[in-house]
Amino acid sequence: MSTFAHVVDGTRHVFADLRTLLARATPLRSGDQLAGVAARSAEERAAAQMALADVPLRQFLHEAVVPYETDDVTRLIVDTHDAAAFAAVSHHTVGSFREWLLSDDVDAEALSAVQRGLTPEMVAAVAKIMRVQDLVLVARKARVVTRLRNTIGLPGRMATRLQPNHPTDDLAGIAASVLDGLLYGAGDAVIGINPALDNVAQVVRLLEMLDAVIGRYEIPTQSCVLTHVTSTLQAMERGAPVDLVFQSIGGTQGTNESFGVSLSILVEAREAALALKRGATFDAGLGANVMYFETGQGSALSAGAHHGCDQQTLEARAYGVARHFSPLLVNSVVGFIGPEYLYDGKQITRAGLEDHCCGKLLGLPMGVDVCYTNHAEADADDMDVLLTLLGAAGCTFVMGVPGADDVMLNYQSTSFHDALYVRRVLGLRPAPEFEAWLERMAILAPGGEARLREHRSGVPPAFARVLGEPS
pLDDT along the chain (471 residues), means of 10: 92 97 98 97 98 98 96 98 98 98 97 98 98 98 96 97 95 95 97 93 96 95 97 98 98 98 98 94 79 96 95 98 98 94 97 98 98 94 98 98 90 95 96 96 89 86 75 53
* Type of residue numbered 223: S
d(CA 310, CA 75): 19
* Type of residue numbered 110: A
pLDDT recorded at residue 285: 66
d(CA 40, CA 28): 10
pLDDT recorded at residue 1: 72
The pTM score is: 0.96
pLDDT recorded at residue 372: 94
